[in-house]
Amino acid sequence: MVLLTSMSAVSQENAVDTTGCDVGWLWEISGNGLQKKSYLFGTCHGEGHNFTREELLGISGLDDALNNVKAVLFEGGMNTEISKADSAAIISEVEKTMKNLAHPGAEYMMPEGKYYKPLFDTVAHFNEVNKFLYYQMKDPEYWKKNPRYWLTRMRLYMAFGMRRGTPLDVKLKQETVKRGIEPRYVEERDEIGNSLFSKITDTSVIDTMSMKEQVKSLYKIVHYVINNDSVNSYFQAFANVYLQNDTCMMWQYLDRAGFVAGAESEDDDDHELQYDRNVKWIPVIKENITVSPCMVAVGCRHLMGSESLIALLRREGYTVEPFKKK
């Protein structure tokens, strides 16, 4: 979902500022009164790629670092131990939204006399969306529903309708349990889960847009899916770059793809999911690494940019440097 928001480009200098070049995803945290080193590890959530244990332990220094920690702190979104109540609530919301889309009311229908084609910037844009909604979404009468309907439907399609791989985080959690290391979390599962799902179903921003603006946004999403074959092809490419274990290579890749690598994004949703969470995590990280050596394992984008976890921990007085294999 983060990758589907509009993001503005930033210079690579911001990445160099906090992470440097030719370094990987594993960092050492020391100083500021710590008795033993802790670690910061940028993971890959990895939809579209089935990460293996060999790929996980092939990341330079990770095996050694795991041998030196008492706990691994994951993102709350990676906590698969969801309570029955939480699970039921999420399923209920999904089903409610799906039901509304399956039997759309007046709020999802095109006004009388309004048609899609004149709303598009070009005929080519219209033809692309027309073909996708007719054949891919299998709705010959798609034109009866308004753009608000299709923007909501596409969000659900991207979030739940695509094939999923095995995230690196899952493999890391399995390895953590296997070694007798305690899994912990930098946030509550329902915090991020509810936040992400609310963004899918929330139409408040869409409702402030004119119908022409809604159509423009719809075209961007459809064009992205078509030209990447599927969302999974993008994430597969992302995983391939990630496995090179080079932060600058990832920054360049994201920049070429038109995405902001770090927390410099001016998009409110993206900023909330990146920088705002980084700030919330710092007290939790400090509390845990003070008690015992830990590994903080979160998505690699949280390690990139001028408001990364690396930058924030340094401002707190810690020394954060690339892992140095002995």
pLDDT tens per residue, range 76-100:
754 444 444 555 565 566 677 777 8
Residue 202 has pLDDT above 80, yes or no: no
The residues with which 74 forms a beta bridge, in sequence order, are 185, 297
In this predicted model, which residue has the larger pLDDT, 251 or 54?
A: 54
pLDDT tens per residue, range 107-129: 899 999 999 999 999 999 999 99
Give the confidence band of 5 by pLDDT, cuts at 50, 70, 90.
Answer: very low
The structure's pTM equals 0.65
The pLDDT, as a whole number, for residue 82 is 45
From residue 5, alpha-carbon distances to 84, 161, 266, 296, 325 in Å are 31, 18, 11, 26, 38
The pLDDT, as a whole number, for residue 6 is 31
Report which DSSP code applies to 94.
Answer: H
From residue 90, alpha-carbon distances to 93, 194, 201 in Å are 5, 8, 12
pLDDT tens per residue, range 18-55: 445 568 999 999 999 999 999 999 999 865 688 999 99
DSSP per-residue string spanning 208-255: TS-HHHHHHHHHHHHHHHHHTSSHHHHHHHHHHHHTT--HHHHHHHHH
Tokens standing for 269? 């949703």
Residues in the chain: 326
